[in-house]
């Protein structure tokens, strides 16, 4: 086993293959697949992943591995497999897939340095560069560039006095703590203490201290406190060999200063029992299976998760729980930490790079048994997985919108298959894809339709904003909402106001009849383009002029839509000056911890109204909230996205669930210009099943998922013409490669037609069964390879896209 196949950290088509390296004799039995190494690559050094160890190299002129970065492989054999699967299913580079499975801190940082070849060359350096090497024998390339002395250095390099060195370092550092312990036994220590010269009073005392303790290790701070020992005393005793130092890895614990109240398993309702039984059975049997737990808000899904995990841990196995952007729900972390204490690692975007790395290390070192985290936590390096849970399965944040464009649900199922363990998908509003699979029997449906505390679902009323306008109310608050808000303030109860900011973009709607202009071929809203006063469809490229009157009712009040939280806050202050308002949006939650602060302020009753966007829709649970208002339910409904109705229904249901979760019953007011729309009407009725049926019909009619699969090819180019012609060529190429039954739409301008001065066109592929697809798309990449290198053509491929932009 003399050679290693390495995937190098150079994300490019030409380097997306293993390179063989010789393993230096000293590391022969040390290097294993999954380890990160540093290898020479051309003139520089790069990081790479060992994917294979072999007796012979496939290449005659191998070079040697220069550094080993891991003692234990950072990618387990199974995760290496997951990596290969990722490249195949998302068409990304191998290195991109591997990189995505590790915390950012482990990504290499590359630095160029200029090194003095030999100490004695220092005096031979020319006058202009010598000053830079007076105190050191290296000098950062970037500094040299700034100082403008590169040409001078070049000359010295040619003379052989200096050399260019490529340094590979890590972003995050392991945090270690120094512990001091005795190097001898207690008797020997006592003897040593007696032989200490009289002037070494402190050393003598410290030795005596150690001779009285058994086999304990202390940090220097502890010694300072316990024995008044200074660091210099410790050091000289270490030097004399009486004491020894020990470096132990320590963790930055983001939750160190927080106490989690220990909780006990609650007794389950009959429904919960019914749901947990089949899960426990699969855990017991060690069998792969996918469950879809469809449970209304407040039905106690989390308790089912907790008790299932309990069973997994009892079998000595590990579990992964995915939650959407967990930073937003400290309440969720609390529930897991409360039940499983220090067995839990938490991975989410609110942690620093170092903190994330530490949590990851805890998993790798098997110090935790459970990880709760956002999307990428699906790659937690557990080796004995017993269950994977995906909470709020419908959340779109489970799909990564950059390479590798994977969906955590797919990765979960792939891993669970390998580990023979169950996957539990939970949601009050499952995606149509998952629910359809459950109906077909691919997944097992578990249903929780009652709320744990038997509270009725909140009363939802829909306010027709067209009516308000007719009555002369031009503010963004309907009479009813305003009245109810005032009522809550008076009663000392709290309200949540939800503004859907997404879709601020520009769909066009009639303020009188609520008619939104749609594409005749795609059943999605057209987008308004100021340039040329045109309406465009981003799917098929259809175009039409912006009408001056509503095509439906001939009203002149037709215009495009959008508003922001700040404006709402101002208006609220005008109409309801007595209310104390907390506003939560990107502006007010920018700083780390600001989020939690605002939420806890609201929780302790420092405000009457919580006003916010998306981020307040999830997982909040405040007993005193009895009113939820949705200011404009339509904004999302008319996004150019075939999932718009689904997302609207999910969001409205989600938001409604924030009201009346405890003793006080709740009420929801939804303001809309399209009250008759089924996704709004069915929210009022709390009827997911009806929504599912209706939406499925439309999906079938327009050939969208789950009836068809989608693939999105986005072409970008510095010139408009280049983008157009390349995308046209791609479309015709694909038409030749793929089956007749596969639909290829476009090319059409991307919803964001120009980013960074690059024009973007896209085409969408709809297919049912297409074995050729991956091969055809790979072929596209290959065929346009030269153009991609030469004229700055870019091709991005998203299989099963979520965001169609």
Partner DNA sequence: AGCACGCCGACT
Partner DNA sequence: GTCGGCGTGCTC
Residues that bind DNA (CB under 7 A): 10-12, 14-15, 18-22, 39-44, 57-59, 61-63, 110, 112, 786, 789-790
Q: How near is the Cβ of 434 to DNA at its closest, in Å?
A: 36
For residues 58 and 128, which CB has a smaller minimum distance to DNA in the complex? Answer: 58
For residues 22 and 249, which CB has a smaller minimum distance to DNA in the complex? Answer: 22
510 in a labelled binding site: yes
550 in a labelled binding site: yes
Q: How near is the Cβ of 772 to DNA at its closest, in Å?
A: 26
513 in a labelled binding site: yes
537 in a labelled binding site: yes
Question: H or E segment at 319?
Answer: strand 318-322
For residues 87 and 329, which CB has a smaller minimum distance to DNA in the complex? Answer: 87
Q: How near is the Cβ of 130 to DNA at its closest, in Å?
A: 24
For residues 40 and 450, which CB has a smaller minimum distance to DNA in the complex? Answer: 40
Residue 121: CB atoms within 10 Å: 16
Cβ–Cβ < 8 Å for 598, 622: no
For residues 479 and 786, which CB has a smaller minimum distance to DNA in the complex? Answer: 786
* SS3 of 624-688: CEEEEEECCCCCCCCCCCCCHHHHHHHHHHHHHCCCCCCCCCCEEEEEECCCCCHHHHHHHCCCH
- DSSP assignment, residue 118? -
Q: How near is the Cβ of 783 to DNA at its closest, in Å?
A: 16
Comparing C-alpha atoms, which of 480, 481, 482 is closest to residue 577?
482
User: Distance (Å, rounded) from C-alpha 324 to C-alpha 301?
Assistant: 15
Q: How near is the Cβ of 40 to DNA at its closest, in Å?
A: 5
For 774, the token pair is: 């991956």
92 in a labelled binding site: no
Strand partners, 525: 518
The secondary structure of 25-83 as a DSSP string is GGGTTT--TT-EEEEEETTEEEEEEEEEEESS-SSSS-EE--EE--SS-SS-HHHHHHH
For 792, the token pair is: 């700055």
Residue 451: CB atoms within 10 Å: 20
Q: How near is the Cβ of 47 to DNA at its closest, in Å?
A: 12
For residues 150 and 689, which CB has a smaller minimum distance to DNA in the complex? Answer: 150
Q: How near is the Cβ of 760 to DNA at its closest, in Å?
A: 18
Q: How near is the Cβ of 409 to DNA at its closest, in Å?
A: 30
For residues 19 and 704, which CB has a smaller minimum distance to DNA in the complex? Answer: 19
For residues 241 and 792, which CB has a smaller minimum distance to DNA in the complex? Answer: 792
Cβ–Cβ < 8 Å for 127, 149: no
For 414, the token pair is: 């792939």
Q: Phi/psi zone of residue 73: left (φ > 0), alpha (ψ -120 to 50 degrees), beta?
A: beta
Rounded to whole angstroms, what are the CA distances from 221 to 177, 218, 225, 230, 601?
A: 11, 8, 6, 9, 37
Residue list for the binding site: 510, 513, 519, 522, 537, 540, 550, 553
Residue list for the binding site for Zn(2+): 510, 513, 519, 522, 537, 540, 550, 553
């Amino acid at each position: 086993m003399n050679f290693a196949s390495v995937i190098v950290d150079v994300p490019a088509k030409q380097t997306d293959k293993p390179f063989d390296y010789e393993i230096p004799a000293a590391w022969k039995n040390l290097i294993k697949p999954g380890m990160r190494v540093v290898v020479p690559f051309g003139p520089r050094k790069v990081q790479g992943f060992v994917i294979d160890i072999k007796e012979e190299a496939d290449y005659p002129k191998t070079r040697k591995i220069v550094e080993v970065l891991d003692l234990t492989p950072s990618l387990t054999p199974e995760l290496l497999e997951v990596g290969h699967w990722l490249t195949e299913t998302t068409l990304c580079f191998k290195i991109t897939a591997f990189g995505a499975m590790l915390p950012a801190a482990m990504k290499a940082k590359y630095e160029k340095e200029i090194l003095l070849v030999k100490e004695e060359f220092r005096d031979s350096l020319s006058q202009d560069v010598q000053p830079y090497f007076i105190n050191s024998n290296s000098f950062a390339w970037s500094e040299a560039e700034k100082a403008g002395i590169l040409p001078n250095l070049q000359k010295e390099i040619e003379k052989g006095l200096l050399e260019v060195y490529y340094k590979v370092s890590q972003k995050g550092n392991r945090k270690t703590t120094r512990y001091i312990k005795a190097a001898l036994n207690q008797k020997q220590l006592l003897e040593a203490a007696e032989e200490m010269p009289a002037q070494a009073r402190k050393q003598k005392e410290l030795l005596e201290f150690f001779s009285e303790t058994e086999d304990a290790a202390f940090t220097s701070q502890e010694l300072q406190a316990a024995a008044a020992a200074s660091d210099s005393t410790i050091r000289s005793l270490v030097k004399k060999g009486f004491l020894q130092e020990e470096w132990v890895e320590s963790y930055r614990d983001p939750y160190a200063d927080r106490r989690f109240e220990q909780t006990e398993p609650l007794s389950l309702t009959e429904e919960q029992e019914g749901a947990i039984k089949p899960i426990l059975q699969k855990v017991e049997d060690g069998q792969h299976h996918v469950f879809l737990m469809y449970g209304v808000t407040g039905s106690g899904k989390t308790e089912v998760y907790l008790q299932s995990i309990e069973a997994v841990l009892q079998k000595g196995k590990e579990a992964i729980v995915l939650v959407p952007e967990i930073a937003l729900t400290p309440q969720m972390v609390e529930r897991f930490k409360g039940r499983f204490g220090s067995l839990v690692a938490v991975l989410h975007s609110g942690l620093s790079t170092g903190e994330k790395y530490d949590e990851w290390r805890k998993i790798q070192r098997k110090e935790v048994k459970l990880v709760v985290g956002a999307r990428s936590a699906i790659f937690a390096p557990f080796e004995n997985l017993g269950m994977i849970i995906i909470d709020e399965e419908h959340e779109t944040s489970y799909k990564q919108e950059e390479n590798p464009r994977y969906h955590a649900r797919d990765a979960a199922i792939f891993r669970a298959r390998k580990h023979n363990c169950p996957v539990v998908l939970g949601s009050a509003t499952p995606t149509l894809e998952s629910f359809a699979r459950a109906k077909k029997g691919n997944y097992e449906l578990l249903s929780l339709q009652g709320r744990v505390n038997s509270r009725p679902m909140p009363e939802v009323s829909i306010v027709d904003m067209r009516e308000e306008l007719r009555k002369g109310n031009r503010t963004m608050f309907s009479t009813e909402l305003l009245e109810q808000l005032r009522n809550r303030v008076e009663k000392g109860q709290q309200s949540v106001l939800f503004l859907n900011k997404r879709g601020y973009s520009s769909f066009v709607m009639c303020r009188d009849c609520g008619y939104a202009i749609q594409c005749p071929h795609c059943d999605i809203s057209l987008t308004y383009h100021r340039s040329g006063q045109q309406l465009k469809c981003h799917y098929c490229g259809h175009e039409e002029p912006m009408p001056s009157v509503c095509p439906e009712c001939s009203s002149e009040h037709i215009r495009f839509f959008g508003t922001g939280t700040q404006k709402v806050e101002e208006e609220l202050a005008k109409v309801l000056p007595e209310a104390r308002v907390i506003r939560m949006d990107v502006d007010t939650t920018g700083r780390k911890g600001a989020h939690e602060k605002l939420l806890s302020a609201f929780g302790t009753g420092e405000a009457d109204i919580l006003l916010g966007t998306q981020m307040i829709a999830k997982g909040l649970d405040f007993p005193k909230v009895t009113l939820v208002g949705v200011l404009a339910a339509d904004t999302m409904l008319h996004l150019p996205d075939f999932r718009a109705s689904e997302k609207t229904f999910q969001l409205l249901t989600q938001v409604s669930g924030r009201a009346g979760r405890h003793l006080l019953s709740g009420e929801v007011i939804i303001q809309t210009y399209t009250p008759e729309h089924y996704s709004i009407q069915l929210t009022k009725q709390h009827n997911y099943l009806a929504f599912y049926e209706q939406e499925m019909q439309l999906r079938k009619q327009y050939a969208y998922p789950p009836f068809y699969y989608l693939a999105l090819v986005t072409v970008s180019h510095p010139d408009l013409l280049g983008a157009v012609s390349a995308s046209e060529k791609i479309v015709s190429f694909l038409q030749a490669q793929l089956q007749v039954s596969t639909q290829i739409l476009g090319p059409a301008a991307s919803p964001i037609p120009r980013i960074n001065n690059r024009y973007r066109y896209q085409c969408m592929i709809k297919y049912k069964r297409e074995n050729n697809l991956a091969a055809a798309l790979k072929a596209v990449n290959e065929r346009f390879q030269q153009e991609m290198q030469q004229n700055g053509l870019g091709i991005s491929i998203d299989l099963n896209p979520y965001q169609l932009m």
